[in-house]
Amino acid sequence: MFTGSLAFSPICRSWGVSTTIEDNPYKFASTDKVADIYWNTNAEAARKIKAAVAQLSNCINAGNCTDELPNLDLCTQPSGIVDWAALLHGVIIEQYSSIPQLDIAGFNFTALINATIAAKTPAEVLRIPIDLAPAVYNPSHTGCVDWAKIAGEGNIVADIGLGTSWLYMTCNWMINSLGAISPSNSLFPEWAVDVSYPGCDTTLHADWVGPDMTKTNAEFEAMYGITDEELDKVTNLLIVNGSKDRTAAICSPKLSSSTNRSHSRVIEVWDMAHGDSGLSERLLPKGFHTQVDAIRNTQLAYIQEWLNL
Amino acid sequence: MITTVFACLLAIASVTVSAQPRCEGPPCQNFTQKLNHDKPGDNATFLQRYQLDTSHFKPGGPILFHQNEEAAITSNPLPIHVFNDYAANLGAMVVGLEHRYFGTSYPEGLSVASNITAAQYAPLTLDNVLGDSVAFVGWLKSTVPGAQNSPVIFGSGKTSTADVPTGSVISDLSTKCYRLIRRLSCHHGPCSVLSCVYWLSCLQPNLQKLGC
């Protein structure tokens, strides 16, 4: 029925709640990608972020962050290591990851980089991604920041009216892991190396958890028919990823090269955010983003070839 | 520009107070969809929203089908999909189908506000999402004049993208739309329950002028 398919920034790897790199070879891929995004964009900013995040991580372990980073100016002090870890991973690193990923119009990531370069202390560096979180948006970085309001966004899908279906899917069959950090990550300290880090919060709705939760990544790929070998055989599939998007790291299947234009392909578009290639000129007008303009033309060319037009 | 912005704000205000945001672009319509595609004897159905634009369609031309992602179709309406940019060139129709269990595309008695049990969520499977696409496109081909032999190009950024010709799936966990809501609500003021794309499509031409 379908002649061809365009996949705009999909995810097709890093499935399940596997604890080991053997069970999920892509376990650290998305956070490794985030690190690359920063180093590729501005080394000075990346160096400052790396140092500031390391300082926060170290003081969490030492239990002295209140003294070590007083200028974070948090409205409420984290009460213990769990709270501090939530601030570091649930807020700061998640913000560092999602800001470039969702930088559809090119505003926040540039603002983040420029402000980081200008920041004078590690605390100032760390406040920047916190203040850019939508829940507290405060780009002038004034006053205290209600970090708990950001960390408490776990139910935001429901809160903003999308309902709970997304939560159900992530617990039942779209079980994916994005946030674990390798010991060799070039930007962030290691995290969840030997434990699972699922997108699903199994404590919220235990009865929603599906039977595939503990399958390995390879088992998921086989179940969905999306192994490298299978995707290599598929024709007329074009996967388009953005270089600012962490998900690009977990759906770049290894396909054989071919001169056949119907052979499945993966294209990564420089400076493009998540899913931008699926957006029309009405949303991103021609001339607004040169690379998006170019990939739109490329996608059209592929469709024309698939259809022999 | 100011007039445009005010018009947008007024439109957004009207959306805020209405139960259902209006559909941007072609009118939203309902398709009677099977609830369980893998149960031949099960005749249960639900109403699944879609948008269809045949203004550029020429008989035999392609169907550019977008399986909407994890959001209401009002948050992700047809005009913002790149397929719209291709329709005139290809003589294609463009269509978007709301993802089941989002927007208003729920089984009878359930809605976005419902406290849905695991049993009630049982039909929200990957196979059924794909089955929705197949059934709907089949219906289009049988009802739109000139579409019977039309080739179909499938597009999506989220669930059920990809290797559709062989029934496989690529999924995407990212929640672009809701994150956009969050992001833009901070740029431009309160719009937390608005259609993010309604907001975007309304203000996009003025984003730079607004200093974003």
pLDDT exceeds 70 at position A50: yes
Q: How far apart are CA A289 and CA A270, in angstroms?
A: 11
Predicted local confidence at residue A169, as pLDDT: 87
Chain B, residues 84-103, CB within 8 A of chain A, namely 84-86, 89-90, 101-102
Nearest-CA residue of chain A relative to B118?
A: A208
Per-residue burial over A239-264, b if 16 or more Cβ lie within 10 Å, else e, is bbbbbbbbbbbbbbbebeeeeeeebb
**Residue B48: both structure tokens together:** 């699944």
pLDDT exceeds 50 at position B205: no
Q: How far apart are CA A123 and CA A69, in angstroms?
A: 6
Strand partners, A266: A239
Contact at CB, A4 and B82, closer than 8 angstroms: no
Predicted local confidence at residue B20, as pLDDT: 62
Question: A121 vs A93, A140, A186, CA distance in Å?
Answer: 18, 16, 20
Q: Are B37 and B128 in contact (CB under 8 A)?
A: yes
Name every chain B residue with its beta carbon within 8 A of the beta carbon of A102: 176, 179-180, 183
Q: How far apart are CA B73 and CA B190, in angstroms?
A: 20
Q: Are B173 and A176 in contact (CB under 8 A)?
A: yes
Contact at CB, A170 and B173, closer than 8 angstroms: yes
Predicted local confidence at residue B200, as pLDDT: 37
pTM of the predicted model as reported, rounded to 2 decimal places: 0.85
Q: Quote ipTM for the complex.
A: 0.92
Nearest to A134 among B124, B173, B183 (CB): B183
Nearest to B102 among A137, A165, A307 (CB): A165
Place A17 in a pLDDT band, splitting at 50, 70 and 90.
confident
Pairing of β B45-53 and β B93-97: antiparallel
Predicted local confidence at residue A194, as pLDDT: 86
- pLDDT (tens digit per residue) in A205-251: 789 998 888 899 999 999 888 899 988 988 899 999 999 999 999 99
Kindly list the domain boundaries of chain A, sorted by start residue: 5-9+218-306, 29-208
Place A161 in a pLDDT band, splitting at 50, 70 and 90.
low
Predicted local confidence at residue A151, as pLDDT: 67
- Among the listed residues B100, B105, B62, the one whose alpha carbon sits nearest the alpha carbon of residue B83: B62
Name every chain B residue with its beta carbon within 8 A of the beta carbon of A225: 163, 166-169
- Among the listed residues B21, B1, B10, the one whose alpha carbon sits nearest the alpha carbon of residue B192: B21
Contact at CB, A225 and B167, closer than 8 angstroms: yes
What is the average per-residue pLDDT within A268-287?
91
- Among the listed residues A308, A307, A298, the one whose alpha carbon sits nearest the alpha carbon of residue A8: A298
| Cα B174 to chain centroid, rounded | 16
- Write the DSSP assignment of chain B as a string of letters: -HHHHHHHHHHHHHHHHSSSPPPSSSPPEEEEEES-TT-TT---EEEEEEEEE-TT--TTPPEEEEE--SS-TTTS-GGGBTHHHHHHHHT-EEEEEPPTTSTT-S-TT--TTS---HHHHTT--HHHHHHHHHHHHHHHHHHSTT-TT--EEEEESSTTBS-GGGT--BB----HHHHHHHHHHHHHS--TTS-HHHHHHHHGGGTTTTT-
**Residue A164: both structure tokens together:** 């709970």
Predicted local confidence at residue A138, as pLDDT: 85
Contact at CB, A307 and B151, closer than 8 angstroms: yes
Q: Which amino acid is at A68?
A: E
**∠ CA A116-A121-A123 to the nearest 5 degrees?**
85
Nearest-CA residue of chain B relative to A282?
A: B80
* Topology classification of domain B23-190: Rossmann fold (3.40.50)
Chain B, residues 121-140, CB within 8 A of chain A, namely 121, 124-126, 134, 137-138
The answer, for B196 touching chain A at a CB cutoff of 8 Å, is no
What is the average per-residue pLDDT within B38-48?
94
What is the average per-residue pLDDT within A166-195?
90
Stretch among A112-126, A164-178, A270-284, B182-196 having the lowest mean pLDDT: B182-196
What is the average per-residue pLDDT within B168-174?
29
pLDDT exceeds 90 at position B30: yes
Predicted local confidence at residue B21, as pLDDT: 73
Q: Which residue matches tokens 């445009």?
A: B4
Name every chain B residue with its beta carbon within 8 A of the beta carbon of A172: 121, 124
What is the average per-residue pLDDT within B159-176?
32
Q: How far apart are CA A55 and CA A52, in angstroms?
A: 5
Q: How far apart are CA B23 and CA A123, in angstroms?
A: 45
Q: What number of C-beta contacts closer than 8 Å exist between A and B?
A: 239
Per-residue burial over A160-180, b if 16 or more Cβ lie within 10 Å, else e, is bbbbbbbbbbbbbbbbbbbbb
Contact at CB, A162 and B182, closer than 8 angstroms: no
Place B199 in a pLDDT band, splitting at 50, 70 and 90.
very low
Predicted local confidence at residue B186, as pLDDT: 29
Predicted local confidence at residue B178, as pLDDT: 29
Predicted local confidence at residue A152, as pLDDT: 58
Q: How far apart are CA B143 and CA A116, in angstroms?
A: 57
Contact at CB, A304 and B180, closer than 8 angstroms: no
Name every chain A residue with its beta carbon within 8 A of the beta carbon of B201: 282-283
Place B158 in a pLDDT band, splitting at 50, 70 and 90.
low
**∠ CA A269-A274-A278 to the nearest 5 degrees?**
80
Contact at CB, A161 and B86, closer than 8 angstroms: no
Look at B15 and B35; give whichever has higher pLDDT. Answer: B35
Percentage of chain A modeled with pLDDT above 70: 94
Q: Name the minimum distance, in Å, from the CA of A10 to any CA of chain B.
A: 5
Q: How far apart are CA B32 and CA B48, in angstroms?
A: 6
